[in-house]
Structure 1
Amino acid sequence: ERARTVPRSEPSGPRPGDGRYRIEHEIGRGGMGRVFLAEDQRLGRRVALKTRLGEGERAAARFQQEARATAQLEHPNIVPVYDLDHDEEGQTRFTMRLVEGRPLAEVLQSLARGEGTMARAFGPAELLLVFTKVCDAVAYAHSRGVLHRDLKPDNIMLGRYGEAFVMDWGLARVGDVDVGPGLGPDRIKSDSGEQITIVGSVVGTPGYMSPEQARGAREEVDARSDVFSLGAILYEILTYRRAFAGDHTAALIAATILAEVVPPTQVVPDRPIVAALEPACMRALAREPDDRFDSVRALRDAVAEALEGSREAARRRATAEERLETSRAHQLEHDRLGAQARDRRADAERRLAELPVTAVPEREALFDELGDVEALEARARAAFWEAYGRLISGVREDPSFQPAREALVELLLSRAGELRRNGDSSTAADLEAIARQHDRERAEARLDDPAHLTVESTPPGATVSVVRFVERGPLWEERAASGPELTPGAYAADLRLPDRPAVRATFRLAPGERRNLKVHLPEMGAVEEGFVYVPGGAYLVGGDRLAPEAGPRAEITLRGFAIATHLVTMKEYAAFLNALDDEEAARRAPRIGNTSYWTPANGRYEVPFTDPDGDEIGADWPVCMLSASDADAYARWRSAQTGRLVRLPTSDEWEVAAGGGDGRVFPWGDGFDPSLCRMLTSAPRAGPCPVGSYPRDRSPFGVLDAAGLVREHTSTEIDGQRVVRGGAWPAAPVQCRIGRRSLLGPDETYVTFGFRLAHDV
């Protein structure tokens, strides 16, 4: 029974009352009695007046014993008994302090429903303070030899001003004497309040009573039985759920005796205070009394100690939350400045690439613009590291605060992705490694979130095999892959159809991307012998900050084209010169300025030959010392000879054919070694060599010698100048990067400039 204000209900029969007490209305009813709101007219105060239900001497004795047991317990958290007497009809009654408030059960039910008003009034700290007060009351009762035996949220009243009271001592035991029912057929209360007759000595409320109470083992019931009930209450405070579930009383009793309690952290894994208090809660709920706390005081001390630790945890959590919140402002600043810098750099680099080298004032103005861009980029980097510092501080302050850890991983991986798009794979890998250190599972899930690939061929029906490019030192090696789910990274798909040439399509898959790759397979004969086909599609170009004049990273779309595997050789160019008249041939022969490096012998250009510097020039060496106009003239002659229109590749076509358009730095991967291409330190003496001598200088499409040997003219023109691509035999490593570009007048020559051909498909 609870002495509290409830909606008025009329009791059956006459209301009790006499000259001292003026009865107003019934406010509660239980198995042993009724409680009325009354006014003590002698003392002028409102009280809760309890009368018994049931007839007979046994019921009267139990009722008086309850009053006397409660009266012995003078404690701030136990409702005091004011008086025990008889009414005019001789019926026993006693009065208590009137408590106006609500039961803990009502509060927990509201919290379970997510009611915000209740959550603001009763947070975890407030509820645990209530729990410690309840423990104080029960510990005091135990010190007086009184066991409650029916502790539950319904029997804990919360006053309006922070008071907490343990109510309803009707089932208490004083020493070895039962106050309430205990022998013979007992009436116990179910969770719904229904009175259910249980045969035996079961005393308490199913779901909160201890296993020994549930078994009816009265001789085993002691202070640790109340500890168990308090553990069930603590469990409900922590989780807003009951420790034991059952559709009916028998099921609840069986669960109490047999079921394993689900740890609170598995019910609510996101509350630090739950983790702190779980050990105490689970120990209190141990099935065997010997495994529980020896006393309620020990339970209370364990909760208080954990609560103190949780206060420190709460302070750390608040600090971590503040770090997370302030980091977001720095992240936004980084994103804003980074976007501005990207747009301005792309514009400045585009305009710079279009200016001739001789436009010095205009180029210097753009240098100033790029200086401003670099200042913006520096501010963006500072904002990134400020956000990183805030988040790492939050993680260190509270390692269990997942939002800060997740934000840190996302920040690092986002920056790593940005760096990879800009060609800085090394720094990106460092940031990814840091992300893995903080949350390996999340980082790898983010980095390795499977991409989904489907491939459609035109004509349909092609067989498809997929390879993934995997780093091995400086090289990207091919390894077989199978789908449709693929790890993010760079790939190639090889398609084959009968009566069609095999086609390779390259692509890069981002984490979680869904890619439908459409590939056209040309007819037999559509691709010139000695050429490789590059299918139409989307490709990455630019973005290599270390490559001179590389331009910004961009995704472009190309139509399918074919490009020569090899550079045009001296032997092939000799056939062209020999087809020209002497004057035209002399004008188109390799030269530097007015000095010709190839003169005819007996009216014909023959190879091998010795040039003016005394070098032996081989037939399979790449032709060089030519202008873009010379290359165009050769392409026109070759087209007339074969009947197929050939041309120089565009700058974008060359870059995609040379690197696969998948973001790599060199044709073979991202690392460099002088043994991989013909460049300055590849041989004891710098100079050209036969084409194809460096098989590792090979693109995914099969294009050879793009990183070294000679630089290559393209058909792309900017302000009257031609774009030149590739590395060369006297080049340093940075000049061998496929992103490198430069401009040269169409009629200008240079010692290392040659070309290769392309044609439309």
Structure 2
Amino acid sequence: MFAVVPCPTEREQVKKPLPDDATKGAESARGETLAALGSGVVPRGAAARIALPGRYEDLGLIAGGSFGEVRRVRDTFLDRVVAMKLLHAEHAGAAHLRRRFLAEARITAQLQHPGIIALYDRGELEDGRLWFTMREVRGRTLREAIDELRAASGPGGFGATAAGWTFRRLVDAFARIAQAIAHAHGRGVVHRDIKPDNLMVGELGEVLVMDWGLARRIDVDEPAEPGDDSALDLRSPALTRQGDILGTPAYMPPEQARGDTSLHGPASDVYALGAVLYCLLTGRPPYLGSSAAEVLAAILSGPPAPAMAAARGGPPVPEELCALCDRAMRPAIADRTPSAEALAAGVLGWLDGVRRREQALAALDRARSFDAEIASLRAQAAEAEARARALRSALRPFDPVASKRPAWAQEDEAARLGRAAALAEARWLEAVHGALSLDPELAEAHALLADHHRARLAEAELAHDDEEAARAEEMLRIHDRGRHAAFLRGDGALTLVTDPPGAEVVLERFVLQDRRLVPVPERALGPTPLVEVPLGRGSYLLRLRAPGRAEVRYPVLIERDGHWDGRAPGEEEPYPIALPAEGELGPHDVVVPAGWCWTGGDAATPDSLPRRRIWIAGFVIRRFPVTTAEYIDFLNDLVIRGREAEAVAACPKVHEGVSAVADEPALHRDASGLFCLPPDREGLRWRLDWPVVLIDWHAATAHARWLAERTGQPWRLPGELEREKATRGVDGRLFPWGDHADPTFACVADTSPSEAAREGVEGHPFDESPYGVRGLAGNARDWCLDVWKHDGPRVEAGRLRLDAAAPDDPDLRVIKGGAWTGALSQGRAPARFGGRPGIRRSVVGVRVARGAPLRR
């Protein structure tokens, strides 16, 4: 029995009783139950008013049982209300009960701990009844608090009671209970009747271990206690003493259930504490039964269901606490948690983790508060850049500064907003890492950082920034908890449809060898269609072959956890890759199949466009630029057909700086008036297999038009991004051969120690793209179809739209490629140059392309 006054208003809040049939519904052998508290029922032997020593004034009964009672009294000396526990008068002469009563008083008085109720005084009434006084505590039992918590909770999680009790608070209360028991063990005392009904949570947040009536000193042998055991019934589910069986069955360890008092020690209390924790986790005691005998038999038959399993169907419970609970309740004493102190430390460790987690989650909430700001700044920056782009599109390079200021202002605003977004992101990162400093295992923080570094890794790999990619990948591996495993493995898939179907597909992987990406054969993938064929991350070249069809090179980029499905924007099905019929292509015609590719994105090149993934329709481009021999054939055909004026207009002409005469023809004419090579002279040499140069955009267009008339194929100049795709393939490489710049790979100024010069179009075989197109990074640049615009060609819904420049449009035209007079850096694929349509340069020539409505 203990001095406790339940709060009536709080008792009314109990919605759902704990299904503790094994521990409630009957008084203990000492009559010390909470069932009588505040009930208004006067137990047997309890008087409405009794005569007390002069120091105390009787204020009435608090609770009572078979052998004693607790009364509220006023200590007139100190003017305070305390609780007085007394034996009933009818038991005043029972030696064993007097001995037990005095032992309880002495033991409790020796345990000076905040979790153990303090005794103030003891004595004997004139009628021989023993008494002692103690602090009166107002509150509820732990079992009542558990009942209320379960009523406020559900499968989705623990709630909070009206009084503010949460699962974590009750676990904290349990830890303090375990500390109080550890204190008792340190003083050589074991409780032997630990159960939720004997544990008190006070109104002021105090936690108390009550009812030390069965406590004993470990180092003192207890004599057998005679008693009227006929009053004790094993059919009752609650039992405090039956012969040598002491305690409450549902919470007692096996050695106690067997009545083996020689084994009653600290380990027995540890087991009972584990049983209390079991009740807190699962909402019920470890064992259930309709009688004490049934419960005792269950205890002796083996351990209860693991706490985690028993908790299923209710609020989720921590695995760590379940493990602590299960270990404390192991049947063998040697296997249990070694001490109550160790159990308390384990629970406190979990609580410390929970507290740190809550603090870390609060820090993470602060980090998330930056999300909206970052998104808003990025959106505003994009809008400012869009406005700048619109303004730039109406500008010409030679427009005055005043005309450019509005566009510059928008560019500056976009840059300012971008910097602000970057700073906000830095604060976001700092806050997330701050959360991890509080809880290094906070899964939510690791997930955010993993997502962040995954995005950085994808960006770095697309930008071919190996150092940043390596850093981002390592950071992703550090923070990922499995969600990005497929992305980190780098596996992807390929889907491919051809026209006609049944084409054989040979897989070659681009492998870095001597600074070049070289296609190395791997295996045959079988006939098309191919559907989600697994492939590792990387850049590949597929060779498509079918009887009666020309071979087509089809580069693909398998990105991390990606699927190359060949679907055009807005389409549901893969786009069929057409294989031209034999004879449809000329000997130097190269097919660039329709599909996605990466363009732009190179800050190191002049006027590079932003990085974009776009769909470009299939086209055919000539393997080599137009040679001097081919161009002379064009001019002479015009002469022979009586179109001499057109031939003269299209003839290469020496630009200023090479000749004092600005429009001096660079080619000679023979006696019949046909064009031929001139003799070499200083600053200007010609060879038939060199790319033609010194022609303007109009002449280049005229040649393409003539070729179309002659062949019946719609030849034209290549679009700017068509030529870029023909150079880079689909993986965004910077040069036709990869990302590494070596001047021996292309015809550029420092290719050899001798004087720089053009060379034959079949020179420098390393200057070859994934499609087999040659001479793209050096030798001669190419005129393109488009007007030069700051923001590049028109792209709608992810598709490139070709807009051919009108002949009379004076705006600049796009020029692409490297040159024999320049550094190799100028030959990077994203580089963009512009020239007036009427200028002629010794580094600019022509290459032709056409659309590919190939026969199917």
TM over 0.5: yes
Give the distance between the partners of 1:257 and 1:201, measured in 2 at CA: 23
Q: Kindly tell me: are residues 732 and 208 of structure 1, through their superposed partners in 2, closer, same or farther at Cα, counting changes over 3 Å?
A: farther
Residue 396 (structure 2) aligns with:
356
Cα drift, residue 194 of structure 1: 3.8
Q: Select the residue among 534, 537, 552 that pairs with 2:592.
A: 534
1:226-237 pair list within 5 angstroms: 226-233=269-276
Residue 738 (structure 1) aligns with:
829
Residue 469 (structure 2) aligns with:
429
Of 27-36 and 336-345, deviating more is 27-36
8 Å contact kept, 1:31–1:195 = yes
Give the distance between the partners of 1:716 and 1:187, measured in 2 at CA: 102
Residue 545 (structure 1) aligns with:
603
1:500 equivalent to 2:543? Answer: no
SS of the equivalent of 1:46 reads strand
Residue 757 (structure 1) aligns with:
848
SS of the equivalent of 2:634 reads helix
Give the distance between the partners of 2:134 and 2:336, measured in 1 at CA: 34
SS of the equivalent of 1:432 reads helix
Q: Select the residue among 409, 413, 420 that pairs with 2:454.
A: 413
Of 253-262 and 498-507, deviating more is 253-262
Give the distance between the partners of 1:252 and 1:595, measured in 2 at CA: 112
Residue 134 (structure 1) aligns with:
177
Cα drift, residue 432 of structure 1: 0.8
8 Å contact kept, 1:356–1:743 = no
SS of the equivalent of 1:45 reads strand
1:327 equivalent to 2:367? Answer: yes
Question: Once the two structures are superposed, what CA deviation does each residue of 1:18-56 show, in whole Å capped at 9, x if it has no partner?
Answer: xxxxxxxxx952464764245653412331111279xxx
Amino acid corresponding to residue 388 of structure 2 in structure 1: A
* TM-score with structure 2 setting the length: 0.70
Amino acid corresponding to residue 646 of structure 1 in structure 2: W
Q: Select the residue among 744, 752, 773 that pairs with 1:703.
A: 773
Give the distance between the partners of 1:180 and 1:605, measured in 2 at CA: 138
Q: Kindly tell me: are residues 283 and 612 of structure 1, through their superposed partners in 2, closer, same or farther at Cα, counting changes over 3 Å?
A: same
Q: Select the residue among 421, 429, 433 that pairs with 1:388.
A: 429
SS of the equivalent of 1:484 reads strand
Of 110-119 and 77-86, deviating more is 77-86
Give the distance between the partners of 1:116 and 1:177, measured in 2 at CA: 48
Residue 264 (structure 2) aligns with:
221
8 Å contact kept, 1:187–1:197 = no
Q: Select the residue among 653, 657, 663 that pairs with 1:591.
A: 653
Question: Once the two structures are superposed, what CA deviation does each residue of 1:179-211 show, in whole Å capped at 9, x if it has no partner?
Answer: 799999x9779xxx8469999977666775446
Question: Once the two structures are superposed, what CA deviation does each residue of 1:369-407 show, in whole Å capped at 9, x if it has no partner?
Answer: 434433333333333333233333443454233323332
Residue 623 (structure 1) aligns with:
692
Give the distance between the partners of 1:472 and 1:104, measured in 2 at CA: 73
Question: Once the two structures are superposed, what CA deviation does each residue of 1:123-173 show, in whole Å capped at 9, x if it has no partner?
Answer: 577445533543455356557765333423354232333243335667655
SS of the equivalent of 1:138 reads helix
Q: Kindly tell me: are residues 289 and 716 of structure 1, through their superposed partners in 2, closer, same or farther at Cα, counting changes over 3 Å?
A: same
Q: Kindly tell me: are residues 470 and 83 of structure 1, through their superposed partners in 2, closer, same or farther at Cα, counting changes over 3 Å?
A: farther
Give the distance between the partners of 1:353 and 1:612, measured in 2 at CA: 43
Residue 164 (structure 1) aligns with:
207
Of 585-594 and 493-502, deviating more is 493-502
Residue 722 (structure 1) aligns with:
813
Residue 522 (structure 1) aligns with:
579
1:269-288 pair list within 5 angstroms: none
Cα drift, residue 643 of structure 1: 2.7
Q: Select the residue among 139, 152, 159 that pairs with 2:195.
A: 152
Cα drift, residue 712 of structure 1: 0.8
Cα drift, residue 241 of structure 1: 8.2
Q: Kindly tell me: are residues 346 and 462 of structure 1, through their superposed partners in 2, closer, same or farther at Cα, counting changes over 3 Å?
A: farther
Give the distance between the partners of 2:480 and 2:542, measured in 1 at CA: 30
Residue 17 (structure 1) aligns with:
none
Q: Kindly tell me: are residues 521 and 188 of structure 1, through their superposed partners in 2, closer, same or farther at Cα, counting changes over 3 Å?
A: farther
Q: Where does structure 2 lack aligned partners over 5 or more consecutive residues?
A: 9-23, 43-47, 51-57, 69-90, 526-531, 567-573, 656-662, 789-808
Give the distance between the partners of 1:221 and 1:292, measured in 2 at CA: 14
8 Å contact kept, 1:170–1:179 = no
8 Å contact kept, 1:170–1:180 = no
8 Å contact kept, 2:158–2:166 = no
SS of the equivalent of 1:409 reads helix
Give the distance between the partners of 1:253 and 1:505, measured in 2 at CA: 74
Of 313-322 and 520-529, deviating more is 313-322
* TM-score with structure 1 setting the length: 0.78
Give the distance between the partners of 1:295 and 1:537, measured in 2 at CA: 70
Give the distance between the partners of 2:298 and 2:345, measured in 1 at CA: 31
Give the distance between the partners of 1:620 and 1:538, measured in 2 at CA: 34
Matched length:
721
SS of the equivalent of 2:495 reads strand
Q: Select the residue among 740, 743, 748 that pairs with 1:679.
A: 748
Amino acid corresponding to residue 618 of structure 2 in structure 1: G
8 Å contact kept, 2:591–2:771 = yes
Give the distance between the partners of 1:281 and 1:449, measured in 2 at CA: 42
SS of the equivalent of 2:66 reads strand
8 Å contact kept, 2:25–2:238 = no
Residue 710 (structure 2) aligns with:
641
Give the distance between the partners of 1:687 and 1:528, measured in 2 at CA: 29
Amino acid corresponding to residue 203 of structure 2 in structure 1: R
Q: Where does structure 1 lack aligned partners over 5 or more consecutive residues?
A: 8-26
Q: Select the residue among 617, 639, 656 that pairs with 1:559.
A: 617
Amino acid corresponding to residue 501 of structure 2 in structure 1: P
Cα drift, residue 318 of structure 1: 6.0
Of 362-371 and 563-572, deviating more is 362-371
Give the distance between the partners of 1:345 and 1:473, measured in 2 at CA: 40
1:44-193 pair list within 5 angstroms: 44-51=59-66, 70-72=104-106, 73-74=108-109, 77=115, 101-108=139-146, 110=149, 113=154, 114-118=157-161, 121-123=164-166, 126-127=169-170, 129-135=172-178, 137-139=180-182, 142=185, 146-167=189-210, 175-177=221-223
Q: Select the residue among 707, 710, 719 that pairs with 1:650.
A: 719
Q: Kindly tell me: are residues 434 and 623 of structure 1, through their superposed partners in 2, closer, same or farther at Cα, counting changes over 3 Å?
A: same
8 Å contact kept, 2:306–2:326 = no
8 Å contact kept, 1:171–1:181 = no
Cα drift, residue 732 of structure 1: 2.6
Question: Once the two structures are superposed, what CA deviation does each residue of 1:280-301 show, in whole Å capped at 9, x if it has no partner?
Answer: 87885677645767764x4488
Q: Kindly tell me: are residues 164 and 618 of structure 1, through their superposed partners in 2, closer, same or farther at Cα, counting changes over 3 Å?
A: same
Q: Kindly tell me: are residues 466 and 258 of structure 1, through their superposed partners in 2, closer, same or farther at Cα, counting changes over 3 Å?
A: same
**RMSD, matched Cα:** 5.1
8 Å contact kept, 2:308–2:317 = no
Of 280-289 and 151-160, deviating more is 280-289
Give the distance between the partners of 1:119 and 1:127, measured in 2 at CA: 14
1:14-29 pair list within 5 angstroms: 29=26
Q: Kindly tell me: are residues 207 and 661 of structure 1, through their superposed partners in 2, closer, same or farther at Cα, counting changes over 3 Å?
A: farther
Percentage identity across aligned positions? 29
Cα drift, residue 597 of structure 1: 2.5
Give the distance between the partners of 1:575 and 1:180, measured in 2 at CA: 129
Give the distance between the partners of 1:120 and 1:207, measured in 2 at CA: 28
